[in-house]
Each structure stands twice: as structure tokens, then as C-alpha cells.
Amino acid sequence: MNQPTANLPIQEVLYQKVVDHLAFIYPELEIEPIAQDLIRTMRLDEDCQSPLAHKNLWDQTDIAVITYGNSILSDDQPPLKTLHHFLQTHFPMLINTVHILPFFPYSSDDGFAVSAYKQVDPTLGDWSDILRISTDFHLMADLVINHCSAQHEWFLNYQQGEDPGSDFFVEADPKEDLSKVVRPRVTPLLRATSTPRGTRHVWCTFGHDQVDLNFANPKVLAKIVDIIRMYLDMGVRVFRLDAVAFIWKKLGTNCLNLAETHEIVRLLRTLIEHANPNAVIITETNIPNQENLSYFGNANEAHCIYNFSLPPLLVNTLVTGNCRYLKNWLMSMPPAQNGTTYFNFIASHDGIGLRPVEGLLDDSEQEALIQTMENFGGQISWRALDDGSNKPYEINISLFDALKGTTAGEDQWQLERFICAHAIMLALEGIPAFYLHSLVGTTNDYERMKTHGHNRAINRRQWQEQALNEHLANPDTHHHKVFHNLRRLIQLRREQPAFHPNATQFTLHLGDQVFAFWRQSLDRRQSIFCLNNISDQPHTIHLNAINLIGTDQWKDLISDAIFDDMLATVTLDPYQTLWISNRW
């Protein structure tokens, strides 16, 4: 009879977990040596810690910023030092997590075609700059594991038939039926490549400069685990698993979200949390909502998942003045178990994804949204379908420009609409993440898009730090107004227990023009009623419609207005937000 795991040393418990994961992934292989090698690589044979199940590694003070290492530049120091200085100057005690998008040498895709995983791009700085940032902020870094650059040593070795790399990539016969494979791009899936064995066709989910790694080969897994160990040593606490849904290939399937993919995520979770119980894994899966939710597993896969449906639904809500679709989605979202939560964002280095609203927005709503975004200067990126046709994949536009008007055209409410969007994000269940360019109100960068030749560059401006600071200091600029409004909302959020990422959330029904929900702190002492007028017309609400408890005192945390008559009404201006709380 097996001895209960509760009575075993932690190293033995870990070993058995790793063996179980590997047995599922590689049923035909001898897995014990692989398990031992992975544990040694992570140095868990020397220092193995015991993670607590269902422990929340966050609270309402956790706020993230997403940025490239070179989004802010100065003439006299490397970009990573400039970024660090900017964040220290403007966001002390406000932002505690920094996601620096791939800061490694790369050949394309603004960093996501990694050519050397263990180096810092010398144009950005070096590992000492990364370590310094990690001492002041929780550092979030990308683990780009679906593919590597065609310029990576592994692929160059593959082309020469040398190791490491000769068997690191997925080969397929172009005569095979690959029509079921889900694609996020319109480029051909396979790339013809010369090797000592003749011409081979390698799998490229995202493009021919990004060659997919073959996780069916455990040597690839071992290399990735070795990279993870180094990132932990360099101060990385939060791991973003980029494009992880695509990492396992099986002919005859769509090669998306396969069971082996989920098991690899569980394995990486096991290894990482036994090395650092405070480390967090976030899966980046830009796919339909129900598939995205599956990456929580049973609180044994991702700690956090990107809330990919939020950006398109929220933008649609604010440009139509109708929250019906957003409200229906919110009601359908399951509360995250303790130890898991949502990673909320409404803008990022990529575009506004459309796959996450499949089944949530009907075709006519999507068409109207796309047309409105094009009217505001946005571009559309496409993906290939199995019938050979193309379908809109994402909208490329800065969030500030995306909200410059409604489906009726531009109007005077751009700033208010933009602040309302972020007030909603800050109040929702989960951890809020701001794209750096949203914090400072960056607009479409048409020149950069033209220079770089791809649509996503429209929202990847590079600022000179001095020029940006001048804009932020000038009260007449929209940059100043955005920056100071968002800073104040962030500070307010951090002080409210009811905004804990796992606090209770309940959708309220106050019509299609007021998006409203209730949050209650984990100890049930604080309630906040979040009312958001998502239209360009004033709206009046009866306080008794939101069931304020008459024995409590209530105050809007944003305007400081006191509500002491439960039978009174309150009128919300266009795009105004109220956070009505019984504790302040």
C-alpha cells in the first residue's frame, strides 16, 4: 500500500508529481531519468520549498504596468535604466508589478522571435538592469516557448544537422491534411528548409521567422526548464507563458489547447512553485472565452489568465452606449477559486483581439465595431481559416484613439470615456494591468507603423523621457489629464478591501446604459457599488434600486458625495463612474 504523500518528504512528493506529469506527456518513454534531470536543473534536489494550495498571492494593492524595455528613451543611459527611473519617479506606491515585454535579442516581431533566451538585448541594457528593476517591482517576463527565432542557435544547428537543435523542431509533410490547424496568421503554416537530410518542412504557427519548438522531444522541455531556472535567479517572479495554447501538435486535430499542452503547464507550475512558492504563472491564450478559462485547471495550472474578452467587449460597450453584451459576459464569468484570479487589461502591445468575443458578439456588432475603429484610424489584422479565406483577428489602434467617439462619430467625450474604461477595469474582479501608453494617453503612431511595416506598430510609440515628462507636467495636455486621473483612481483602488482580486462580485441590472456591479470584501465588512454611465447622455438612478443598506453610511469614493437618503436619486453625467462605499 502506498504511503500517504502527507507523510513523505517534500522532495519525494515533488518527484512523484513530476513523474505523473511526464507519464501523461510521454507515455512511451522512460520518464524517471527525465524527471530527475528536470529536478536537478531547477536545483530542487538542493532547495525544494512547499507551496500552499489555494493561496492568494495578491491583494488589492497589486497593479501591473505592461511596457517594452525601450518605450521610454533618453540620450545618456540604456533604455532599461530610463524605464526604471520613469517608473520610480511617477508611480511610487502605485504600481508594484512591471511586465517588461521580451527583453532578449530577437530577429522580428518586436521581441517575440527570440534569438537568445539567456541574454538581454544589448540595445536595452544588461542583466544588472533587470535585477535592479526586480528589487523595486515584481518583475513579469515572457517565456516565449511555442517558438524561437529562425536565427536562434538551435535552428541554425537544425539546418546543419548539429546538436543542440537537430531534433528540436516540428516537421510535417505538406501533403498531410493540415486544414484543421487553427492559425492566428495568414502566412503558410510550413516553411521549406534545407538540411543534411534534404528539404524538410518545419511548422511555423506565427510566421516563417518564428519556428515552432517540438515539445514531443523531452530535450526541448529540459532546455525550457533550464531557462526558467535562470529567469528565477535573475529576479523574475511572474512568468507570462506566451502563445502557450499552441505548443503541442497532433495531426488530425486543431493543434490548440490539447491535453498535453495543459499537462505541460501543470508540470511547469509544479517546478516553478516548488522553487519559489510566491512565483506566479500567467497564461497568454488569445482564444475564445471558454477555452481561455480552461487554463485555470483545478487551480493547478495558471495562477492568472488574461481576461481577453474584456478589451473588445468594453470598447464595444463604450462606442455603442449599450452594455448588454458586456453585462451578459460578466454574469457568465465564474468566480475564480482562491489561488487563481483574472489578469484584467484593456490595452496592450498587441491589438484588440476579436477571437475572444466569438460567441459573445454577433457578426453585425463585430462589423460595426471594426468600422468604427477604422474610422478612428485603426487597422485590421487577419488570420487564415481552414477554407482558405481570411477573417479579422484583431484591431490595431491605441486605446485613447479607439475611444475618441461612438459609432455615430467623434465627439467631445474622449477623455471621460477613456477614464471610464479604466475605472471599470480597476473595479472588476482580478488584477488590473495598464499598458504604459494608456497611462500617458498615447495616440496612434502612424509614422512608426509605416516605418516598421506592420499594423501593431501603431500602438508601440517610443517616447523621449524629457518630452513625455513635459507633456505630463502641462495641465493643458490630454496626457496630463489622463495621467493624473488614472493615478488617483489607482490610489483609491489600492485602499479598498472590496477591490481584492478575489472579493465577491455580483452584476447589477440598471438598464443598458449603466454598467453596474457590486463588490464585497473577503471579510464582508466593505461593500462598493460600482456604477458606470457608459453612454453620452446623463442617466438618473434611484438609490433604492441598488439596495444600499439603510443602517450604513455611504459615500462615493471618487467625488466624495455622501448618500444619506436611500429614497433619493443620483444623476450620472456621461461616462461618470461612482464607487459608492460603506467604508472609507
CB 96 within 8 A of CB 137: yes
C-alpha cell recorded at residue 524 = 464582508
Amino acid at 138: H
Q: Which of 121, 212, 242, 556 is catalytic?
A: 242
Distance (Å, whole) CA 190 – CA 5:
46
Known catalytic membership, residue 59:
no
CB-neighbour burial class of residue 27 (10 A; exposed 0-12, middle 13-18, buried 19+): exposed
CB 528 within 8 A of CB 508: no
CB 507 within 8 A of CB 327: yes
Taking alpha carbons only, the member of 514, 518, 529, 521 closest to residue 563 is 529
DSSP 502-534: TSEEEEE-S-SSEEEEEEE-TTS--EEEEEEE-
3-class state of residue 169 by DSSP = strand
DSSP 357-384: GBTTB-HHHHHHHHHHHHHTT-EEEEEE
CB 39 within 8 A of CB 13: no
CB 504 within 8 A of CB 493: no
CB 273 within 8 A of CB 224: no
Residues with catalytic roles: 242
